[in-house]
Amino acid sequence: MCGIVGYIGKQNATPIIIEGLRRESYRGYDSSGLVVFQNEGVVCIKAIGKLENLEAKLLNQNLNGTIGLGHVRWATHGGVTEENAHPHTDCKKNIFLVHNGIIENYAALKEKLIQKGHKFSSETDTEVLCHLIENFFRGNLEEAVRKALQYVKGTYGIAVISRQDPNKIVAARLSSPLLIGFNGDEYIVASDPAAVITRTKKAVNLEDNEIAVIAPEKFFILKEKTPQDLEIDSGEAEKGGYPHFMLKEIMEQPESLSDSLRGRLLVEEGLAKLGGLKKVEDKLREIERLNIIACGTAYHAGMVGEYMLEEYAGISTDVDLASEFRYRKPILDKKTAVLAISQSGETADTIAAIKEAKEKGVMTLGIVNAIGSSITKISEAGVYNHAGLEIGVAATKSFTSQLAVLSLLTLFLARQRQLSLVMGQRIAKEIGRIPELIKQVLINSPQIKELAEKYKNFNNFLFIGRKYNFPIALEGALKLKEISYVHSEGCGAGEMKHGTIALIDENFPTIAICPSDSVYEKMISNIQEIKARNGPIIAMATEGNEEIKNLVKDVIYIPKTLEMLTPILSVIPLQLFAYYMGVARGCDVDKPRNLAKSVTVE
Ligand code: F6R
């Protein structure tokens, strides 16, 4: 979603800001803008569409200012127009501001400011902040920002500059990430570490309600903070020879899975070691119910987790869409823990759901990929995915990592309860084999590419699976629709006959996930039902199953593993299928239309 980059130092600010914005743009955006202070005055330029459109407008501007702000916007309040793009400014064009988040009480504030004579030029909630700061400005920018923010309800990460108090950037946050990178005598303010990582690894993460003042000769955040090393590798933000981040991230799953598992499996003891849960280990022994909350792909991971946790740990588990959790009035008691799953750790609905759970006094846990993100800060304990930076908008390696962490969590909780040492050893050993098995799945990627070529002109798809692979049917359909804009539905194979089967004909192919597991026979019956209605079928089966070739023409094989771990393997051909379908249909697979990597609005 929206991204902020600010620069203050001795270099030309513009190329540094543009490069930072490019590195943030993977989150999804629809317009961009930049403001720079220079001797000749202030230059503020905006463009709709791709960042290249902004760059084209900057070409003949001869920009050389050493302080500036940039922004990529994902529209919420007001359409995709230059007027609504950031930076925004006040009546006197003294204050320039970029903002991520939502000002919930903007309408009331706007009305009051209009009554006081302020003139607005955009439809955004953000512009209210400029006029509010203008209202309090008496020559000192941080003072004006501090006073203005007292009146604001909502979420924000902001960076502000003023022509009448130049040579400083004031930055502030509430529930929207913001960090300040330090590189000798230059500072970079950004909403995403990817924007600073090529210039410096030293950074301070702003905490909620903190206001930072960043000037060449001084930097303070009300209380002193020591710069920490950012835990990402600058190489992660590159495509590494692949045409798209999505393909790179699919292909690196053997490594990302190994990273997720590193140091966490004790095969001899049949245990999982999860350092992030140490402080709540005893409390977890008492837990009788788990309520998983998540959105999108992370929600599908939670659904797989439900099957694992109930089957092996014997813990009754519910999975809720974070956006619906608060409306359900869930029954939460001292024996319940709420577990949030989120790649970004910044998803507004998931954050709101955790806050709701905390309000009710229950233990909150997180499975999160982004280090230091908001969810890691507000939950009581949790487990990091360590899957590395994920840039493609579609979640791929973060999903398999979420499944791996859920399998570790299941082992951990199951061994606290009834699971035997022998079974614990068996599960731990098999989890440890998964990165190797993923390599075997990836070897078949040329076959999946051929299948995508063969099926690329179909405009509807059905995905079916049962038990552990029911959520994978949903995930396969989500991946295909978001990447290739092809209509696709995921369905429990048993549920199909209650309605969805009406869609099936020779133009409506089905991908049937049917590994050799406890529901295999039932899946075969469902495949027969589709065949009888002339529906084309691609089956995903376990290596060695030759019999299935008598039933369907197109078969994708995956290696044998424990039933609970099959989803980690079965989802990968579906990620590849969505990717190759998207490429074949000419879609922007890394940045699908209308989507954002981190959904920071409810
Ligand atoms: C789909 C996808 C989204 C996210 C969802 C939650 O490919 O990426 O459905 O899974 O927006 O995001 P996180 O995991 O960051 O909370």
Determine the atom of ligand 1 nearest the C-alpha atom of 596: 11
pLDDT band for position 178 (cuts 50, 70, 90): very high
What confidence score (pLDDT) does residue 135 get?
94
Mean per-residue pLDDT over the chain, rounded = 93
pLDDT band for position 331 (cuts 50, 70, 90): confident
| Angle at the Cα of 584 from the Cα atoms of 582 and 587, rounded to 5 degrees | 40
Cβ neighbours of 108 (radius 10 Å): 12
- Residue with the smallest CA separation from ligand 1 atom 11 is 296
What confidence score (pLDDT) does residue 224 get?
40
| Angle at the Cα of 427 from the Cα atoms of 423 and 431, rounded to 5 degrees | 170
Report the Cα–Cα distance between both ends of the chain, in Å, rounded: 12
Range 537-564 average pLDDT:
97
Among 24-33, 163-172, 444-453, 577-586, the least confident range: 24-33
Determine the atom of ligand 1 nearest the C-alpha atom of 402: 14
Mind listing the pLDDT tens digit for each residue in 214-227? Answer: 998 777 875 444 55
Question: From CA 161, how far away is CA 175, in angstroms rounded?
Answer: 21
Structure-token pair, residue 268:
């001899």
Quick check: 454 and 298 in contact, CB under 8 A? no
Range 421-425 average pLDDT:
97
Chain center to CA of 375: 12
Among 559, 248, 300, 249, CA closest to 433: 559
- Residue with the smallest CA separation from ligand 1 atom 5 is 296
Structure-token pair, residue 74:
């994902």
Query: Is pLDDT at 231 greater than 70 in this prediction?
Result: no
pLDDT band for position 332 (cuts 50, 70, 90): confident
For residue 27, give Cα distances in angstroms to 297, 421, 596: 16, 44, 5
Structure-token pair, residue 478:
């989500």
Quick check: 294 and 341 in contact, CB under 8 A? yes
Which residues are known to be catalytic?
2, 597
Query: Is pLDDT at 169 greater than 70 in this prediction?
Result: yes
C-alpha dihedral sign at 129, 134, 139, 144: negative
Query: Is pLDDT at 237 greater than 70 in this prediction?
Result: no
Percent of the chain exceeding pLDDT 70 equals 97
CB-based pocket (< 6 A), ligand 1: 295-298, 342-344, 347, 350, 394-395, 478, 482, 598-599
What spacing in Å lies between the alpha carbon of 430 and ligand 1's midpoint? Answer: 27
Mind listing the pLDDT tens digit for each residue in 38-76? Answer: 988 899 999 999 999 999 999 988 899 999 999 999 988
Range 441-452 average pLDDT:
97
Query: Is pLDDT at 233 greater than 60 in this prediction?
Result: no
Q: What are the beta bridge partners of residue 41?
A: 38
Range 469-489 average pLDDT:
97
Query: Is pLDDT at 378 greater than 50 in this prediction?
Result: yes
Query: Is pLDDT at 326 greater than 90 in this prediction?
Result: no
Determine the atom of ligand 1 nearest the C-alpha atom of 350: 16
What spacing in Å lies between the alpha carbon of 345 and ligand 1's midpoint? Answer: 10
Is the model more confident about 597 or about 574?
574
Note the pTM of the prediction, 2 decimals: 0.74
What spacing in Å lies between the alpha carbon of 535 and ligand 1's midpoint? Answer: 31
pLDDT band for position 229 (cuts 50, 70, 90): low
What spacing in Å lies between the alpha carbon of 344 and ligand 1's midpoint? Answer: 8
- Residue with the smallest CA separation from ligand 1 atom 10 is 297
Mind listing the pLDDT tens digit for each residue in 526-536? Answer: 999 999 999 99
Query: Is pLDDT at 149 greater than 90 in this prediction?
Result: yes
Determine the atom of ligand 1 nearest the C-alpha atom of 599: 11
What spacing in Å lies between the alpha carbon of 50 and ligand 1's midpoint? Answer: 22
Mind listing the pLDDT tens digit for each residue in 82-106? Answer: 999 999 999 999 999 999 988 888 8
If one residue of 320, 323, 324, 344 were mutated to test the ligand 1 pocket, choosing by the most ligand atoms within 8 A of its CB, it would be: 344
- Residue with the smallest CA separation from ligand 1 atom 6 is 295
pLDDT band for position 232 (cuts 50, 70, 90): low
